[in-house]
C-alpha cells in the first residue's frame, strides 16, 4: 500500500470522466488499498480514484467516528433520489474550503464490492451526501461547481495562489495548508470528502 498524491482544484485532470471497471482484479484491489490509505492519512471521509489521478469509477468512504468502517464502491450508480438536505461540504481536492451544498437526502445505490459482487442499498443523511459527492468526482465534477460564479472564481484564485506559493505538490502538501484532527475529519463540521 502507498499514500498517493491528491490532485487539487483547479487541476484539469479532476475534470475527466472516469471509466467503468470491467473486472475487479488484484490490481483494482491494490488501487482500493492505496485509496483507503490516502483517505485515512489526509484525513478525509471519502475519496474518488480520479482524485489520485486514476480515472476509474471507484470510491472509498468511511464516515465512522472510529475510522474503521471502510466502504468501497466500484461502478456506483444512483438508482433513485428522494428529499433534500443541505450539508456543509469540503473536499480533499479543494483544501480549506467549506460550503453548503444541497443534495438528495436519501438515495438508492447499486455498485460492485471488493469481490466484484453486485450490491444494492439505501443511503441517507451524511452517507447519501458522501456518495453523491464522490460520484460527481467520477463524472468530472467538484462541489464548487454548485456555488455561485463569484465564489467559484474566488476559490480558484485562492487555490492557484497557494499552489504557486507551495511549488510542486508533494503528498504532504495537505499538511502545509492545515492539518485537521481525525476526529474533525470524521465529524460533521468539516467534511473532507
Ligand atoms: Ni471531494
Query: pLDDT tens digits, residue range 45-94?
Result: 999 999 999 999 999 999 999 999 999 999 999 999 999 999 999 999 99
pLDDT at 179 over 60: no
Do 124 and 105 meet the contact criterion of CB atoms below 8 Å apart?
yes
For residue 18, report the distance from its CA to the centre of ligand 1, in Å.
14
For residue 4, report the distance from its CA to the centre of ligand 1, in Å.
15
Residue 168 has a pLDDT of: 62
For residue 100, report the distance from its CA to the centre of ligand 1, in Å.
13
Q: Is residue 134 annotated as a catalytic residue, yes or no?
A: yes
* Least confident stretch, 17-21, 72-76, 92-96, 164-168: 164-168
For residue 27, report the distance from its CA to the centre of ligand 1, in Å.
23
For residue 167, report the distance from its CA to the centre of ligand 1, in Å.
22
Q: Which of 86, 89, 122, 134 is catalytic?
A: 134
User: For the chain, give me the number of helices (H) and strands (E)?
Assistant: 5, 8
Do 134 and 91 meet the contact criterion of CB atoms below 8 Å apart?
no
For residue 119, report the distance from its CA to the centre of ligand 1, in Å.
23
Q: Taking residues 34-54, what's their average pLDDT?
A: 97
pLDDT at 99 over 80: yes
pLDDT class for 6, splitting at 50, 70, 90? very high
Q: Identify the structural domains of the chain with CATH numbers, from first to last.
A: 12-192 (3.90.45.10)
pLDDT at 169 over 60: no
Q: What is the DSSP string of 26-55?
A: HHHHHHHHHHHHHHHHTT-SEEEGGGGT--
Residue 102 has a pLDDT of: 97
For residue 133, report the distance from its CA to the centre of ligand 1, in Å.
6
Query: pLDDT tens digits, residue range 112-162?
Result: 999 999 999 999 999 999 999 999 999 999 999 999 999 999 999 999 998
pLDDT at 176 over 60: no
Residue 188 has a pLDDT of: 52
pLDDT at 171 over 60: no
3-state helix, strand, coil in the chain (%, to 5): 35, 30, 35
Closest listed residue to residue 53, CA positions, set 192, 169, 166, 178: 169
Amino acid at each position: 500500500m502507498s499514500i498517493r498524491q491528491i490532485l487539487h482544484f483547479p487541476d484539469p485532470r479532476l475534470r475527466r470522466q472516469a471509466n467503468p471497471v470491467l473486472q475487479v482484479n488484484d490490481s483494482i484491489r491494490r488501487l482500493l488499498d492505496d485509496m483507503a490509505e490516502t483517505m485515512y492519512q489526509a484525513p478525509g471521509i471519502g475519496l474518488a480514484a480520479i482524485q489520485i489521478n486514476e480515472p476509474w469509477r471507484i470510491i472509498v468512504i468511511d464516515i465512522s467516528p472510529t475510522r474503521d468502517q471502510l466502504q468501497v464502491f466500484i461502478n456506483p450508480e444512483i438508482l433513485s433520489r428522494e428529499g433534500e438536505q443541505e450539508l456543509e461540504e469540503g473536499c480533499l481536492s479543494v483544501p480549506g474550503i467549506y460550503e453548503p451544498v444541497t443534495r438528495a437526502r436519501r438515495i438508492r445505490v447499486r455498485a460492485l464490492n471488493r469481490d466484484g459482487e453486485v450490491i444494492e442499498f439505501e443511503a441517507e443523511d451524511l452517507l447519501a451526501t458522501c456518495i453523491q459527492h464522490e460520484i460527481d468526482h467520477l463524472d468530472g465534477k467538484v462541489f464548487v461547481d454548485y456555488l455561485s460564479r463569484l465564489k467559484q472564481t474566488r476559490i480558484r484564485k485562492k487555490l492557484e495562489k497557494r499552489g504557486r506559493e507551495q511549488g510542486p505538490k508533494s503528498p504532504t502538501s495537505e499538511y502545509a495548508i492545515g492539518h485537521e484532527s481525525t476526529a474533525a475529519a470524521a465529524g460533521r463540521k468539516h467534511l473532507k470528502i
